Structures are given as C-alpha cells and as structure tokens.
Structure 1
Amino acid sequence: MDKDYKDAKLRIRPVISSKKTVDVSDWMLEARLYTKEGTPVLGVNMSMPVKTITTEKYQQNFSLAKYLEANVKAPLLWSSETPNLYIIVLTLKDHKGNVVEARSSRIGFRKVEFKNNHELCVNGKREYIYGVNRHDHDAWEGKTVPYERMVQDVTLMKRFGFNSVRTSHYPADPAFYDLCDEYGIYVMDEANVETCGADAELSNNEWWLFAQMERVAGMVKRDKNHPSIIFWSLGNESGVGANNAARASWVKDYDPTRLVHFEAYMHNGGSRQYGYGIDFMKTNRPAVNPPEPPAVDVVSTMYPSVEGIIKLATQEGETRPVLMCEYAHAKGNALGNHQEYWNAVKKYPRLIGGYIWDWVDQSVIRKDSVTGKEYFSSLNGTNGLVFVDRKIKPAINECKKIYQHIRFDYSNGELTIRNEYNYLPLSAFRFSWKLMAGGELIKKGELTDIEAFPGTSARVKIDTGTSDSGQKGELILEINAYLKKDVIWAPKGFEIAWEQFTLQEGKVNPPVEEKTGNGGKLTVQKKANEIGIYNDRINIVFNKKAGLIQSWIVGGKEFLEKGPQINLWRAPTHNDGGYRPKTENEISRQWVEAGLDSLQHKLKSFKLVEEKNGTVSVATTFVAQKTGNKSYVEYTTKYIVDPSGKVQIDTDLKPFGNIISFPRIGYTMTVKSGNDTFSWYGYGPYDTYNDRHSGARLGRFSGTVDEQFTHHAYPQENGNKYRCSWVSLTDNEGIGLVAEGMPFIESSAMHYSLETCLKQ
C-alpha cells in the first residue's frame, strides 16, 4: 500500500519445480488479477520468461529475486469488516503458447503495522484484537474437524463479535484460513513449538534449532498468501532463548509485512511465571545486539490481572503494544469481570486486546450404556466459550455486548449513536427502540435516516411520552441495531448492537394476582415441637427443634417440601478449583478448609413474638460449623408473618475463624413438585452474576426450571439470575410462591440439589 492506503503494488515471486528435466526455453508465466466476480482488474497481463525464474540466483550483497509486478489503482481493501478478496491466476505456457498448468489463489490488499501511540493498525485504521484461541476439535471426529464445523466456528465467532483467532498451538487446516479470508477474521498463525514441560531448555540448545526453525518456516511458507494472517507466532510456552531469536529474525527477513509474536519473550530467562506478577514482566530482549530491533513486535502476556495489564501498559522503558495472548479462562461457568479488562484496554493506548482461552470444549459426545442419553465426556479441556456441539454458553453473550461497534448515549430525550466501525456507515443498519415498564412493552418505534460515517456520531430525538404519562415503577428504554441486508455470517435482521437506559427508577411488582388476600387476624397455635401461625387463608408451621418452617399452606395448598434455610455454599465452578481442589491458590480450597462445604446447623434459640401491628414473628439463632473445624458462623434469622400470607425473612450473620470469603450468602428451599415455571424481573434471559451481566438485559423473563440449567460437562454453579426485583415459582395454573427483594435479590431454580451437583 502507498502512504495514503489508496493504491497498491502487486508483487508475485513465482516458484516453479518439475519432477523431470524439461526444456523451458521460450516458456512463459502469465498472471492475471480478477475481482471475486471474475472481472479483470489490470489493463495488461503480467508475464515473465520461465527461464528467468529457474535461473534466479542469490549474490553475496543482494538478492536477484525475480518478481511479476503491477500497480493496482484504488483496490478494495481487505479488513475484518470488509474482507474484499481478489483472484490471482497464474498460467504456465510452453513455447507454442499451450497451457501447461494454471493455478489460482484468492488474495487481499491490506497493510498491518503499529503506528501513532503504538496502536495496532490495519490500512491505517486502529484495530483491537477481539480474539479467541482455537484448538482443532470436533464432538464426533476428535481432532479431524469437518469443513462444515469450521464454517460453524467462524460464523459463530463473527456473530458474537470476535474479529481474530489464534491457532493455538499449531497451524490449522488450510481450509480454515480460507474461511478467515472470506469471513473477515484476523489470524495469529502459531507454529507447533511448545516445550512447557522443559521450560526454555530446548530454546537454548542449538541442537534443537533446526527442528524449531523447520516448523516455523514451514508454516510461514505454506500460509504466506492469506490476507487474514496478521501475526506470525513462534510457538507457545517454550521460553526465551537464542533459537527463538534466530527464528524471529528469519521470519522478519522472509516476510517483513507481518508482525511477530511470542509470549515467552516478555518473561525473564524462560520463567514459567506467566503474567502473575509484575516482577516477572520484563522488557523483551533484542534479537542479537542492543542496537538491533527486538525479536518480537508485541509484549505478550498470559492470564494477567486487570492491574497487571495496566502496569504493563504504563511501565517505563517499554513502548511496544501489549497483547493478552491468553486471558479470561473460559473453563465452565466463567468470564467474570470481562468488562473490567476491556475498560482498561479502551483506556490505555498500548493495550490492543487479547485472545480468550478458548473457543470450544475439548470433549467428545458419548452415549450412556443404560439410558442411551448423550453426554459430554472429558473434564480437563472444557475451556470453551461454546460446548463441543457448538451450542453457546451463557458467558459468550458478554463478549458480544462488550465488543459491539455501535455505542449509544441517551439524555433529555436525545439519543446519540456513535459509529466505532472503521469502514461501515450506520446506514448499513436498521435501528428501533422500545419502552418497557416493569418488563412490559408500552411503546415502540423505528429510527429512520440514521447516517454516520465511521468515527462519527448521529443524534436523534425519541418521544417516549414518559414526561407526563404518570407511569409508575421502573422505566427502561432499549435501543436495537439490526443488519439491513444478509451478510455471509448472518441474515438480514440479525441484532448487531443494543443498549438499555433506565429513564425512571421505581419498585417493580410481580405481575401476578395475589391469591392470599387478607384472611383475618393471625392465630398462634403452640404444640410441643411446633408453632402454627394461621388464619382463614394461610397456615405456616415452624418446627421448634429444627428452627425451620416445615409447612407453608396458602388457600389450602401446600407449597413447601423443605426450608427455607440459610445457605453459605454453592457448587464451585471449574475456575474456583472444583470441589476437590489440588492447589493452594484455588479459592474453593479455602472454602473447604473453612468447612463451608459441610456445615452442621445447630439451633441455639427459638423465640416467638406477636407484634402489635398484627404480624407474628419467629426469631431463631444458629451456629453453623463443620465437625472438627475451628471456623464457624453464627446467624439470627427473623421471620415476620403478616395476615396476607407474606413472610419477610431477615438474617444477621457473623463469621468467626479462618473464613476469608463466602461462596454464597442466601437461602435454599425445596418446593412441592409441579411448580415448574420460573419467572423473574432482573437480568436475563440466561445466567447472570454481579461480575457478569453486561451482555444481559433488564426485563421480565419466564421459562421452565429445566431451561434455567446450563449443562456444563463438569457439574458446577449455574443458572443464577442477578438483580432481581422478584422471582416466582408457579404451577401450570400460575399459582405458586413469589419472593421479592429488598430491593433486589439473586436467585436460581433447578431440579437438582446442591449435593447432587457436587457428585463427580
């Protein structure tokens, strides 16, 4: 590309070989360039005598490489947003002009560089790496990935906002690069060099130089013509050493148009401390001597904290961009605080993004020999954002929202739409809005004639009619952007971006008719082991020995099987360390050592109080402790029953001993079967948590209890709903229990007990 990224030079260095001796005198090689539709681009064909190619020589001071060259005026540029491809056709003709052989290849015009404030730029425009690591894996074929599965992978990547993939930790099937060229996905092509078990030993042993060089050179030579490849990666976890410096130098000399990456080069002497501490975050060594450029072009790190990447991006003595080649470990129920990483990336110029570990669970599908049901086998490699059958996990929605290229702001009735694309105008999208009160749609509309070029904004007025409507409760304005036309990876109408704004805060009541009414004054019935509180509508019975509600009858229907009871435990996630943690730094080990997994609840006191306002209160005090453990928790729970049948539950809790944190603080209860509809007003419709809800919407949702369960290969915490004003469990007639937050709660519902989820 020229300095203005307008015109380009096409340069072809042909290689010709033959298995037998052939007289190529007067043979010619011709090259033609076509658009993807087959229209010739150049006015004349490029040609060169074959004899010139076969007699190419390297002299001592400079190369006499022979090229076919042509100037291309204003080609359509290739990028992840606009993957414009051309077709080059090479034709070999003998001395009579007969075609001996013809080959074609798709190519793209683009320039990759670091410029300005060390920003990653493609065609002069800043790019972030919204990336993911990808292993070759298929649920049924293992490491032999069918072509249709590759298409499925790149399609899902594009739909969820990813623009780059790292071929961890080996070159991919050539067909995969063709798809990345076509769909628009930047590639970090990685050589199959990994010696993490031996640290940097082989990288510092010259006997291994040829084996390592052969692997990276073979990759570069095979894949060099793919425009999607913007990084060459020397390998993974094989330490700092002279062999790696030599390989980097070869790559830079052979192909100066791309960037060189190697994660180990930011560590000190092959240290295995992959980004866990700033003490190990050293600047990269030069390739040979201090005056020469560094061996790699980017500072790369694995699994840093948010604070860690900020320190890397601001440390003195280092000016190169910072890339997280592996981060946001997506094993099981994962991707908490992903938004925090991207807040930092967008704030500090040297941060260019990173590659999540990783794309797909590496398990296989098997059938149970008894039931015939299919299940995911293998636990160690279930690190994917998608399951092995390519069904998505809830966490991937976080990526789509954070990575979206259209941003919205709303103030005083005016909506600002900012276009963060590099090439696409906002006119490529359809925009709409809707207003919801307590999750119920009350008004909607279309936004027409939205125009804004890349890097600019459009402003439009929205008449929600809320200023004088007298509408009570929480009002949410949601803005949506959809594709106007089909693209290769999504159909017309596919949602590309969205945002919600709270126009009015207020209490959100559950949209159910209260079946309780007021049954009159509460009566207390005392028995040896029970306390009954009842009127014409309700009958709630406390077990005095257990200190818990043992029966909850409303309108003659029993709802309760067991509980509610204080709950300080949840099934650990894979990243917590699981239920049987093996290392000291895993948080679930700290929980288990504090005894939180096996608490025995001992009742210390039970008190009944009849209040003057017509309510009846029961207060219980418990000590929860694992047998033989010095740590314990003391808590007091107060149940306030009013004549309508509502029960308010308040708990004061105090930990003692070596309890660093709690996996959960809440209540657990079991309801009678048949209450299979779970509804809520909060974030949804999928699993959400206090550190993972950027990709979820605030609204009213409903589904079966089974639909709330995420079937991770490794049983673990799942199905939580964050910031709920209310949740309900009802039967098929809509009759059931409702829990309301004061003001908010989190909740989940499943057909499995906590104990069942912990069985492995």
Structure 2
Amino acid sequence: MKAVPSRIGLVVILLSLGMLNALKAQETQRQYLSGTDKDHTVNWEFFINTGMKSGAWSKIPVPSNWEMQGFGTYNYFRDTQNPDETGQYKHQFKVPASQAGKTIFIVFEASMTETEVKINGKSAGPVHQGGFYRFKYDITDLVNTGADNLLEVTVKKRSSNESVNQAERKADFWLFGGIFRPVYLELLPRTYIDRIALDAKADGALRIDVYPVNLPAGISIKAQVQTLKGQPVGLPFSVKTSAGQIIAGLQRQVKGVQPWNPETPDLYNLLVWLTDAQGRVVHRIKQRFGFRTAELRPHDGFYVNNRKVVFKGVCRHSEWPESGRALSKTLNLADVKLMKDMNMNAVRMSHYPPDQDFLDICDSLGLFVLDELTGWQAKYDVEAGRKLVKELVVRDVNHPAIVIWDNGNEGGWNTALDGDYQLYDPQKRLVIHPWEKFNGTDTKHYPDYNYVMNSVLYGKEVFFPTEFMHGLHDGGHGAGLDDFWSLMRRHPHFAGGFLWSFADEGVSRLDQNGKIDVQGNLAPDGIVGPHREKEGSFFTIKEIWSPVQVDLKLLPVNFDGKIPVTNDYLYTNLDKCVFEWKLVSLPSAGSGATTETTDASKKMTGPSLAPGSAGMLSLGLPANWKNSDVLYLTAFDQYRQELFTWSWPIHMPGMIKPVVKAGAKVGASETDSCVVIAADGMSYYFSKRTGNLQQVVTPKATVALSGGPVVAGVKHTLNKLNHFASGDTYVVEISYTGPSLFNVKWTFSPGQAAKLDYQYAIRGEADFAGITFNYPEELVTGVRWEGRGPYRVWKNRMKGQQFGVWQKNYNNVITGESWEYPEFKGYHADLFWATIQNKQSPFTVYATEPGTFLQLYKPLKAAGAANENTNPLFPEGNIGFMDAISPIGTKFQAAEKMGPQSVKNVQLNAPVKGSLWFDFR
C-alpha cells in the first residue's frame, strides 16, 4: 500500500514542480518549422525555375537537397548546367499566443547557396551568402503570435558574390541546392544569453565568455559545472554585470576533472544562467563540453593534454546517395563508428563544416576534428569570409573534439582571415592551410615516398599531411600505407595524417533510374562505398592503425605461447584492454562447409604497458594446441570493442593433401595432337605442341582447364615432352626453352589426385611471378578456399585479412564503380587449397609451398580511370598460383613511387620450385 503524502508534502511537491516549470520557461525553446533530419521532414510548398519538375508549384520535404527529390539539375565540380537555378519555398506556421513578448529568431542550420528570407511579406534581414553555415534572423517584430504566419524563402544555387561561387561551387564535390539542414524558431526571454565560448583546459582551468543581450541593471551571470548525470562538480560561480553589457567573463579552477581525449572522451555539462536582483532566473542555457588543452609546439609536435599525439585520420564528406548532404543522427553515428572501427582517432571535415550531430558524436565517442572553412581551391573575399568564419567558429567553438581550424583547402585560403578565428575562440586553436607549409606545420597533400623521406631527414615543421594515400578505386588507402606509415613515424616532428577519403561520393540519380553516379574518377575515393560498403583497405587500415600492435608474421617452430605486443595508444595503458585467443579447427576441402570449430579459448587482461612501450603477452596455450589448425588472437579496448584479430596457421601448406582412395591402374594413349593419361576414370589431355594441359574429362563432365602451366609473363616453347610408367605411377615430363628455366612434371598415381611439380626462373624485374592456367570465366560460379580472406590483396596491401576457410561467389565488381564486396577477381594470400566452383564440375587445387597466392582472373579496368596507376598488370592466364604479385598505385602516383613494398619483384639466383595437387574427383 502506497503512503499518502501529507498536505505539507504536497505543497513542497507543487512548489518544486512550479519552480521547475518556471525554470524551463526561462530556457531557450525551439519550435521546428522543418523536420529534424532527412528521415523526419515537413513538406513545404516549392517552385523551381528550371531543370527537373520546374515551372509549377508542388511540395518538397524540408530538409533536403532538391535534386535528390527530383527537382532541378545535378552538377559536379561547377554549375555548368542551369547555373541560375533558383528555388522558392513557402510555409505557414503559428507561434502560440503564450509566446507573446518573447524574442523570436528563425534559424537555418544550412541552405545552399544564397538565401533570402521573408516573414509575412517582409524581409527578415540581409540575404545570406554561403551554403554550409548556420545563420539566423531576429523576427520578433515580424511574427504574429497566436495567428498564421507565412515564411517565404528564395534559395539560389549560385551566389551574387562571385567569391562564394569560386569557393563553394567550383569544387571537387557534388554541388547541390536547397535547404538541407533543419529550420526552426528559437524563443527566448527579452533578456537572454545569445551564446557562450569556452576555454576548458585539461588541468580544470575554465574560462567562459558569455554574450548577454538586453541586460538591465542588477543582473548576475552564474555558472555551474555538472557531470552528464547532473551531479555538481565544485561550487557555482558568478559575476555581476552592468546595464547594456555585451560580453562578460567568468573563470574558475575546477578540481578533480577528467580531461577529454579520443580514448577516454569524458564530458561535462555547463549551466549558465542570468539572475535578477531578486535572484530569479531570467534565462538559462546548458552546454556540453570537455576539459582538454590542444597546442602546437613548433619544431616538436601537436600536443593534447600535454601528450604528443598522432592523428590517425580520414577526410569525410557529408553525403548519402539518396539524400545528398541532408543527413541524420543515425547516419552520422554510423560513420563515426566505422571510423572508430578502423582504429581512427581523427577526422578532417572536407571541405565544409558538418552537421552539429556529427560533431556531438565526435565529442562523445572520441575523434579529434579538423573543422574547415569552405574553399576547395579558391577563397572567399574578405567581406564574405569574415561573416562565414564567425558563423563557423561561433557554432562550433565549444566542441572539445575540434583541435584545429582549417582556413580553406589547397589554395582556397584567404590569409586576411587567419586572425579572425581567434576573435571568437578563447582557446586560440591552431589555424592551418591544408596542403601548405604554414604556421609551423607541413600538411603536404599526396606526398610520394621520396617526399616523406626528405621530410624525415630535413623537415623542421610539424608534419601531418591532411590528404594522403588517395583512395581512387582500389588504390591507395591500405595499399602502400604500411610503408608510408612506418617511414612517417620516423619524422622527429610527426603528427599523423588524414587519408583521402572516407566514402565514395556516389549519388543516386533520379534522372538515371537510380544509378549511382561517381563522376568517373572524381568521386570513387572512399575506403567504403556510397552506402558504406567496406573495401579491403578498411581492414588493412584497421590492422596498421590498431593501438595494439602485434609483430609476428608466422608462428616460430619453437613457439612458446608468448606474443610480442606494443602499446600504440596515446593515453591508455594496455592493462585496460582484454585479449582473447582461440584455437580453431577448419573444415576440410571435401566437406563443403565453411563453419569452423573452436577447440579452446581464453580471455585475459592485457599486460601493464604504458603508451609507446612493448612487452610480451603470455597466452597459456594447452599442451595439445598443435592439434588445431589456426590460432586467433583478438584485442578489445576498454569498452570491449574489437581492435583487431590476428591469425596464424599452425601447420604449413603441404600437410593438407587430397584424400587417397582405392584406384585403378594408370595408363596412357596418344592422339595426333595429345597425350592422354587415364587415371581413376578420368582422362587428362596434354598438347603435343605446347605441353600444356588441355582439358580433363571426368565421369561427370569435361573440365575446360587448359593453357597451363605456363610461367606468368614469360614466353617459353616446348623442348621435349616425355611420358612413361614408373611402377604403379605414370609420369609426364615437359621441358621448355626460352629466356629462362622452366620444367614441369606431372605424376598420376592410383587413387590419388594429379600432382604437378615445377621449377622456373625469371630474370630482372617482374610485375609478378608464378604459373597460370586458363579456365573460361563464363563457367565460374565461385570459389571456396583455405587461406587469407575474404578480400583480395596487393603486394603493397597484405595486411588486414584473416586466415580461415572462405566462400566467395563470382562477381565482376570494379571497386568504386560497383559495390558487391568482396571482389571476386584478384590475388588471394597464403593459399592452402581452393575449390573452383563452376558449371561443369568443381575441382580443387592444393598448394604445398608457404606464401602461395591464388590468382582469380583479372579485374576490369575502371571506366573512370584516367591512367594505369590503379590498373596493375596481370598474367595472361586467368587462374594462377603465384609466388609474387603486383602492387597497385593511386590516382596521382604509380606504384613504384609508393615505397619498398610497391616496387617490382626481383628473383634471387635460385630457381623457384613448387608443387600442386589437382583433384578433379
């Protein structure tokens, strides 16, 4: 039975509720006129003057980019079509009569590019120029409370200010139009706090710049730091003001705070309120923030909280295929989680400020942010730029994640604006010019390996390229990153770098039946696809940038269960991490299964290793650990998110062989053109002209494996073909003449698969090395294999893949132009066996040598590729067993410019010897 509150208790409760309601009434209230994001919209009336669906009034969801709703014209890079495209919006709204006497602002989070606003037929204020910035108008005197009001907005894609067009609409990205972020009213008391700007140092020193409006006499400004759960941190503090004062400063040393960093992103709330002479609350705001100190130390590095940091970052466009730049909190959260999943700790806003949601998530999940003023390769003029710098900094100044301001990009900086950032930023954050040596930094874009080497040897500036490893198609990003990162880390003033870019900028074209348009080679630069499909480089980056580093390529013969680990965190001891090992048995080639069996596993806390130090992790494996096939080791961070999983085969290839069955005597015969070996009901045809296998006829079907073996990339001619019985076996020996050694031996034994032994040599440099066969591509349906997967590898992108048994169906994907990942075609590492699934009869090939690559056909050249950098050479044969493979380049650099792993292969003096088993049974 519940207790009945006393009359006094009821009075106390009612008074408390009254105080809460009164306090709430003095907080800023927001009334949305549009929806809140791309998935929650409000229809407004809309008219566009040209392009799709032009010339008549209709409805459009707000927020949105109008092209993505079927209006107007799609343009990339510059407004070449319908440059004077203009949209007109109308919307009726009411402000409750209870809000009479309030100050009312209309706020646009962003509208591109030039926006004119009217309320009830009257101008709300000057036309706003600039498409990526929050702006607002005081419409108190224009609004009729308790009655209908008409909002009219005219949005032009191109601005009347040509510098705005040069900065924003002649740029390497999609040029959309429309009101693409929310529109809302802010309702405030007559005396209110317009904004605050914080400087919250890592040691708890807190400075607050408060900007009050319409202050009468007798007003005090008070502040209180709280935890996110509302618990006070220290005592409130205050300052008295004078009538008409427009800025006031508060300072406090807050004890016992936890500094913000991307590994432990601790946050607090700050309450700031105005009280009158009677102590009544006039207006109150709440700001989430973090304590942290960010500074450049010239000729040293970039420091956050007195710790030298390394940015592991990526450049990110705000875009989604079906909605353009109109996004949602859900999408922004997913993007930050993907970055964190790649072990990134930083993101650069390219080339404009993002949604506020995105920055909030960077604060809460932990990413350093470089926030950027638009200006791709051209600058705003001083008048327009000054207004936009203010809008950028005023909106974003209190985010602890933001540690650097970018004043434009690649020549798009107006140096007259460099000092403007500090006018609104009490933290005095560093201002850089991405691409330029400026302000003690070298942020060179797309340095080649030699540039990095020279910077390591002679560079004086703090080095962090704000774009590098250009990820066009499947080149860059992971390809070459291992070499670049290892070399860059030797720079005495190294501060990391930012990959270009996060996602392919693909747009679903309503005028092309929903086709994803990536504008040739201009936009498919991502680590993930337009819908965030993961490329192989995603996992390479994840391994290279893991804050736990494991440098153990193979298990040594005398492996004692100890793994060398390095703590690559900036702030976190490794004992905050958890490790888990698993011993796993893999399914066999003949089983058709891909499900593994866990034989044993164990979780353990990491060793106590400070950031930057190395040590050993003792696994404590069971005595019978060698009975399993694979050892997996997974590292989890302090939030139990996976950092990476390393894998090592316990046995070597060659220990797994085809099953021996009862078999009949092997025989041979000849035709005019072929030697035919009959073994266990199958017939193997060898050309008398070339010595190559021509086909295999099984009881089920004819398998059209032919044209091999040949040495990849080398032309040989048949010297001699011998075939003879040797006891129960039958042998086919083939020797060749040509520029280098090449000999082949086939052995056929009763009840066994066919065995191929070969040796070859190559001279000088080679793009690849190995032996190949041909099998008709139109007959292939898939592949099942034991080795590293599921993604293909390049010579300069070996990291990131797991050892196991994988299944992959055939596809003809071109990375960055279609997105059915992982791609079927290409090289696959550490082959043990592979079953080529096809429309005739599947067959399995077993490798016997460690380090064998399986080559599956040749990826198609991207239609948008302007050069051969991302189209490496492949052998003429389409199924190969390779000892060396090709690297891949980037949009701007051929592979040979990208470091040691990217140069061509050179064979040592000894010939290559290998063996394969071919099982057609």
Matches within 5 A, 1:503-652: 506-510=652-656, 513-514=659-660, 518-523=663-668, 525-544=669-688, 548-554=692-698, 556-558=699-701, 560-565=703-708, 605=718, 607-611=720-724, 613=726, 614-617=729-732, 619=734, 638=744, 640-643=746-749, 644-648=752-756, 650=758, 652=760
Q: Is 2:307 the counterpart of 1:125?
A: yes
Q: Is 2:829 the counterpart of 1:722?
A: yes
**Secondary structure at 1:176 match in 2:** helix
With 711-720 and 341-350 compared, the bigger mean Cα shift is at: 711-720
In structure 2, the CA distance between the partners of 1:23 and 1:108, relative to structure 1 (3 Å rule), is closer
Aligned residue type for 2:643: I
Could you say which residue in structure 1 is the equivalent of 2:577? 429
Query: How much has 1:128 moved relative to structure 2?
Result: 1.0
Query: How much has 1:23 moved relative to structure 2?
Result: 6.6
Q: Deviations over 1:128-161 (max 9, x none)?
A: 1010000111011012223221111011111221
Could you say which residue in structure 2 is the equivalent of 1:682? 787
Q: Is 2:178 the counterpart of 1:15?
A: no
* % same residue: 21
Structure 2's unaligned 5+ residue stretches are 1-199, 553-558, 588-595, 866-921
In structure 2, the CA distance between the partners of 1:216 and 1:23, relative to structure 1 (3 Å rule), is closer
C-alpha contact (below 8 Å) 1:639/1:648 kept by paired residues: yes
2-side partners of 1:689 and 1:337: how far apart?
A: 9
Query: How much has 1:419 moved relative to structure 2?
Result: 3.8
In structure 2, which of residues 602, 610, 634 is the aligned counterpart of residue 480 of structure 1?
A: 634
C-alpha contact (below 8 Å) 2:579/2:605 kept by paired residues: no
Structure 1's unaligned 5+ residue stretches are 57-65, 197-201, 267-294, 570-595, 624-632
In structure 2, the CA distance between the partners of 1:217 and 1:319, relative to structure 1 (3 Å rule), is farther
In structure 2, the CA distance between the partners of 1:364 and 1:665, relative to structure 1 (3 Å rule), is farther
Q: Deviations over 1:494-543 (max 9, x none)?
A: 422344467x764444465356x6542331x2223333222343301235
Matches within 5 A, 1:391-430: 391-408=533-550, 412-415=560-563, 417-430=565-578
Q: Is 2:374 the counterpart of 1:192?
A: yes
Aligned residue type for 2:602: E
In structure 1, which of residues 444, 450, 453 is the aligned counterpart of residue 600 of structure 2?
A: 444
2-side partners of 1:358 and 1:97: how far apart?
A: 53
Aligned residue type for 1:247: L
C-alpha contact (below 8 Å) 2:780/2:836 kept by paired residues: yes
Q: Deviations over 1:339-379 (max 9, x none)?
A: 1122123333322210000001101246998xx99766543
Calculate the TM-score normalised by the size of structure 2. 0.61
2-side partners of 1:77 and 1:162: how far apart?
A: 20
Aligned residue type for 2:666: K
C-alpha contact (below 8 Å) 1:710/1:719 kept by paired residues: no
Q: Deviations over 1:685-731 (max 9, x none)?
A: 3222332122123x331214248967641699845311323322258
**Secondary structure at 2:791 match in 1:** coil
Q: Deviations over 1:465-493 (max 9, x none)?
A: 56xx6959x97543222357xx5xxxx5x
**Secondary structure at 2:805 match in 1:** strand
Could you say which residue in structure 2 is the equivalent of 1:220? 393
Q: Deviations over 1:248-305 (max 9, x none)?
A: 3443565453222213433xxxxxxxxxxxxxxxxxxxxxxxxxxxx52311111112
Q: How well do the aligned residues superpose, as a CA RMSD in angstroms? A: 4.1
With 609-618 and 731-740 compared, the bigger mean Cα shift is at: 731-740
2-side partners of 1:709 and 1:508: how far apart?
A: 32
2-side partners of 1:609 and 1:551: how far apart?
A: 18
In structure 2, the CA distance between the partners of 1:648 and 1:134, relative to structure 1 (3 Å rule), is same
1-side partners of 2:709 and 2:861: how far apart?
A: 18
C-alpha contact (below 8 Å) 1:87/1:107 kept by paired residues: yes
In structure 2, the CA distance between the partners of 1:156 and 1:536, relative to structure 1 (3 Å rule), is closer
Could you say which residue in structure 2 is the equivalent of 1:353? 496
C-alpha contact (below 8 Å) 1:538/1:552 kept by paired residues: yes
2-side partners of 1:562 and 1:375: how far apart?
A: 37
Q: Deviations over 1:205-245 (max 9, x none)?
A: xxx444444443432233211111011111111178xx42x
C-alpha contact (below 8 Å) 2:369/2:402 kept by paired residues: yes
With 133-142 and 671-680 compared, the bigger mean Cα shift is at: 671-680
**Secondary structure at 1:138 match in 2:** coil
2-side partners of 1:232 and 1:651: how far apart?
A: 59
Could you say which residue in structure 2 is the equivalent of 1:257? 428
C-alpha contact (below 8 Å) 1:193/1:212 kept by paired residues: no
Could you say which residue in structure 1 is the equivalent of 2:456? 313
With 556-565 and 117-126 compared, the bigger mean Cα shift is at: 556-565
Q: Is 2:763 the counterpart of 1:670?
A: no
Query: How much has 1:748 moved relative to structure 2?
Result: 4.4
Could you say which residue in structure 2 is the equivalent of 1:53? 245
Q: Deviations over 1:157-190 (max 9, x none)?
A: 1122111111111121222211111111100111
**Secondary structure at 2:829 match in 1:** strand
Query: How much has 1:674 moved relative to structure 2?
Result: 8.5
| Larger Rg over CA atoms | 2
**Secondary structure at 2:665 match in 1:** coil
Could you say which residue in structure 2 is the equivalent of 1:695? 800
Aligned residue type for 1:609: N
In structure 2, the CA distance between the partners of 1:86 and 1:211, relative to structure 1 (3 Å rule), is same
In structure 2, which of residues 460, 484, 488 is the aligned counterpart of residue 341 of structure 1?
A: 484
Query: How much has 1:675 moved relative to structure 2?
Result: 7.2
Aligned residue type for 1:236: N
Corresponding pairs, count: 640
Query: How much has 1:37 moved relative to structure 2?
Result: 0.8
1-side partners of 2:442 and 2:862: how far apart?
A: 41
2-side partners of 1:42 and 1:425: how far apart?
A: 29
2-side partners of 1:537 and 1:100: how far apart?
A: 95
In structure 2, the CA distance between the partners of 1:393 and 1:672, relative to structure 1 (3 Å rule), is closer
Aligned residue type for 1:86: Y
In structure 2, which of residues 463, 467, 472 is the aligned counterpart of residue 322 of structure 1?
A: 463
Query: How much has 1:746 moved relative to structure 2?
Result: 1.5
C-alpha contact (below 8 Å) 2:747/2:756 kept by paired residues: yes
2-side partners of 1:634 and 1:367: how far apart?
A: 57
In structure 2, the CA distance between the partners of 1:608 and 1:451, relative to structure 1 (3 Å rule), is closer
**Secondary structure at 1:703 match in 2:** strand
1-side partners of 2:859 and 2:572: how far apart?
A: 49
**Secondary structure at 2:495 match in 1:** strand
2-side partners of 1:538 and 1:748: how far apart?
A: 26
1-side partners of 2:439 and 2:701: how far apart?
A: 69
1-side partners of 2:389 and 2:423: how far apart?
A: 13
2-side partners of 1:425 and 1:27: how far apart?
A: 48
2-side partners of 1:702 and 1:264: how far apart?
A: 42
2-side partners of 1:744 and 1:7: how far apart?
A: 52
C-alpha contact (below 8 Å) 1:107/1:226 kept by paired residues: yes
2-side partners of 1:13 and 1:28: how far apart?
A: 14
2-side partners of 1:639 and 1:459: how far apart?
A: 46
2-side partners of 1:430 and 1:107: how far apart?
A: 29
C-alpha contact (below 8 Å) 1:538/1:645 kept by paired residues: no
Calculate the TM-score normalised by the size of structure 1. 0.73
**Secondary structure at 1:226 match in 2:** coil
